[in-house]
Amino acid sequence: MQVRETLAIDHAPTFTNRSGIHISKITLGFIVGIFVCGIVGSGFLVYHFISCPKEPKCSVGDISTTTSGPSVGIPVPKLTAADFLLPTALKPHHYELKIQPFFAEKDFMFDGEVVVTLEALEDCKNITLHSLALKVPEKEIRIVENGTEREIGVSGTSMVETQQFFVVKSNEVLKKGQFYRVLLKFHGILNEYMQGFYRSSYRVGNDTRWLAATQFQPTDARRTFPCMDQPDLKARFTISIARPKSMISLSNMKRVREASVDNNPDYLWDVYEESVPMSTYLVAFVVCDFAKQTDETGMVSVWARQDAIKSTDYALNVGPRLLKYLERFFNLSYPLEKMDMIALPDFSAGAMENFGLITYRETSMLYEEGISAINNKHRVATVISHELVHQWFGNLVTLKWWNDLWLNEGFASYMEYLGVDAVEPSWMSMDLFVVLELQNVFALDALSSSHPISVDVANPDEINDIFDRISYSKGATIIRMMDNFLTSELFRRGLNTYLKTLMFDSATQDDLWGFLTDAARNGGVFDNDTSVKVIMDTWTLQTGFPLVTVTRNYDDGTVELQQQRFFLINQTSEEKEDPLWWIPVTYTTSKELNFSNTSPSHWMRGERSVQLHDVVIDKSDWLIVNLQQSGYYRVNYDDENWRAIVSDLNDPVKFRKIAPANRAQLIDDALNLARGGYLSYVTALEVTRYLQQETDYVPWKTAINGLNFLDSMLQKTGQFDLFRRYCLSLLEKVYHQVGFVDAGNSSMLTVYKRVEILTLACQLGYSDCVDRSVEQFNMWIHQPNPDLHNTISPNLKSLIYCTAIKYGEQRMWDFAWERFMNTQVASEKEILLSALGCSREPWILIRYLDRSLTDAYGIRKQDVFRVFGAVASNGIGHTIVFNYLRSNWDQIRVYLGSLTNLNMIIKYSIRRLNTPFELEELKRFADVHLKDSGRTVKQSIEKAEANISWMKRNYKVITTWLEKVTKVV
């Protein structure tokens, strides 16, 4: 959505709202009756400030649209976050919410009423709430003064469309210090876009079963009931839900009683106990006919479709164990008496941390032993861990405003690994962090169109835009870095004090920094001149991350470290002066070989360069900086140091003395330094040659990520076979080591390694891999009842399905499609959706895209991006998807509805563009159709530009090197 703009009045005094953002403050006499008009679309945006007694804190200003009158041509400044914050005159204390959904018999509507108890912090005549897509009859609104129970008249209402404000105008002044109850009735639609209060369905035989569920984060509670929909405006909630007698309801708190519904004998009211203070985005309720299981304590319950309830066994096993671990970690009990977790057929996110009622996408909570792969089990544990962390970090103490979203998501994304490591220690979760989080986010954060972790956001579209890998993965990575430089004991001590002090309140990142600084100083890690804020502001308020270049003086033994911002497109000559970071420095040498000490030995204190004089190292030895990749930065070395590292990597004994995480770091840094133009590709590719003797998972996972980029760039060139043959030579040893049999006693990392290696081999067309995949798929086809008897190992399904469909006949695609239509297992549907995009027949791929944009074939809106992504990842598919996107944009936009879903489609459809023609076509399309898509298109365009620049710089260098090492003349 295009950001609408509002009028700024110069030289006005200011007051500060709840989130510390300054808003213009104008005297009464100046604002009464002022009107300013400006064009908005085909009509005019009319700004009329409402008169308020003494202080204009009751309203920022009303905005409405009209369709007549001339434009006065006044430029309208951009709205800021301050303009989207509610006035500060009123504070909510309690909501009594009653809501009744109606299903097919009444066209998926809902009715409700809410009583909001407000405290007047200032005299005011206007009550401003958030409301969106609701009908709120003015004649049924009442204002009652607490205590006296005197009713105050309502003189009118108005809607501020841009800010989604609903203003109720009272006949009398609401007096400072007094409490009032505002009673509103409302009506809405159970939408199909997974926002607010929405409808979902599933099939049992030929019957369609309906349910209704909520998703309010970040700003969609206002789609369900009028409220003060800001994270800092916490209140208590007493919720009643009317549901059909054949269904059940769930909400945040325990149900206390049932009651009959007047004039509707088919419905019952479920009345829930009053909640703890919480933000509106954490309110949740579900009406469904699901089955449940409860743990032995009666504390944790899991809910799912009746035919999927057996798939909740693992969630019910791991959830209580994670809850107990987190209580010990935070040294603070879980604040509610129950925890419900429910798997929903339609859900826009992976899961949502609603207080006491966590909602999940089915694939994030259901695991079917013998059908689902081990990565599905890992996903379930990780997502549950993430959402349970939020019960403390986000729910108990909540961000004041969405600019600190990372405070919620970064902590949960880091601590999910700690939680899983505690309950499933054999999975080696902390080893996975480097490749799944840190290295994963580097590519996005290396773009000039990236954003700081803590970023100014105003309207709901901008807020939704930052639910990305920067907030999650970069946030997690810098928190892990902080855990290392503070020490885990002091890190936990600071968190505990933060949570206990600010319980049921809201906070900013500076609040957290203060508690962590106190812990660090009291623990002797920091002196009184060092603070967490000074260090961490350089990581949260600046875009990007540093490249630390290590240059050794081989004569006097000194080492110089220099920092600069890393870009995928090297922009040092055009950019303003680089930002500077506080960088914790850890290192070891080939003599010392101590990779376990991640406490910094030195700091770069926002300095461009530092000299290290105490490094003890021989000229012929190497130096490796950033142990275990505990710091969020890349490292480059002088040529001599790189040569020493490459020499030891290629030694069959010495390479194992370098920690696996640092072997992964060397591969990732080298390939990406070359990609960004900081290092010769000859050096980077020389680093990869050692992989022919590598057998550990983490380095191979990193290498495959890097090789996949090269694959995508070279795939449509005449020299691709050189690359293919080189990769197969690297795979030879490890391919035979992992084997094509999924041994039942394999560790999780061994399974992951097998899947990654076999997938790459099949992707490169290795005949043994292709033949075995087609053979196993054919065995499945010939089973008497393939829906009940699948002979393919769950862990190998993804690669075998895809390979067989890619290299097999059309009957294999048709068979897989039939299995997709028949299966009720969510994880199986997900694998099949991706595999069906592997066909090499253009007409099949186009038909598949067509089928994803209708309800007729069982592909849910939440999974359409998976179809587009699967086809785009196909060698021939990315051009097909790009053309399809442009040709069918209007249909796609109408069908998917929400900007979040559309951005996912855009991102996956255009991520592999690497020719000037494709780039120009993308820019033309974006100029017309994608102006409201936020950073997604900007980042995609920048990536395409980077890819084109990469091809010009590196194609000849790489192919010449490949010719040499593969001995091709």
Q: How far is CA 197 from CA 273, 283, 364, 893, in A?
A: 21, 11, 21, 21
Pick from 498, 479, 494, 482: which is nearest to 397 by CA? 498
Q: Output b/e per residue, 274-295; b: 16+ Cβ within 10 A.
A: ebbbbbbbbbbbbbbbbbbeeb
Neighbours of 257 (CB within 10 A): 10
Q: Which residue is associated with the tokens 């309207």?
A: 459
Tell me if residue 387 is catalytic.
Answer: yes
Q: How far is CA 951 from CA 713, 765, 792, 947, in A?
A: 7, 24, 40, 6
Pick from 358, 287, 343: which is nearest to 310 by CA? 343
Radius of gyration of the chain (CA): 29
* 92: amino acid identity, one letter: P
The whole-angstrom separation of Cα 543 and Cα 635 is 18
Catalytic residue selected from 353, 387, 830, 942: 387
Paired with 119 in beta bridges are: 91, 179
CA atoms within 13 A on the CB side of 595: 15
Q: For residue 509, give the H/E element and its range.
A: helix 509-522
3-class secondary-structure state, position 159: strand
Q: Which residue is associated with the tokens 């559309």?
A: 902
The whole-angstrom separation of Cα 215 and Cα 46 is 32
Record the tokens describing residue 452, joined without a space: 């700081």
The whole-angstrom separation of Cα 132 and Cα 772 is 55
Record the tokens describing residue 960, joined without a space: 């010449």
- How wide is the angle at C-alpha 620 spanned by C-alphas 616 and 621, nearest 5°? 50
Q: For residue 478, give the H/E element and its range.
A: helix 475-486
Cβ pair 660, 696 in contact under 8 A: yes
Q: DSSP per residue over 831-848, as a string?
A: HHHHHGGG---HHHHHHH
Q: How far is CA 499 from CA 236, 504, 518, in A?
A: 19, 9, 14
Q: How far is CA 157 from CA 127, 141, 165, 226, 476, in A?
A: 9, 10, 10, 13, 44
Helix H, strand E, coil C: the string for 40-74 is: ECCEEEEEECCCCCCCHHHCCCEEEEECCCCCCCC
Q: DSSP per residue over 482-506, as a string?
A: HHHHH-HHHHHHHHHHHHHHTTTEE
Pairing of strands 43-48, 35-40: antiparallel
- Residues with catalytic function: 387
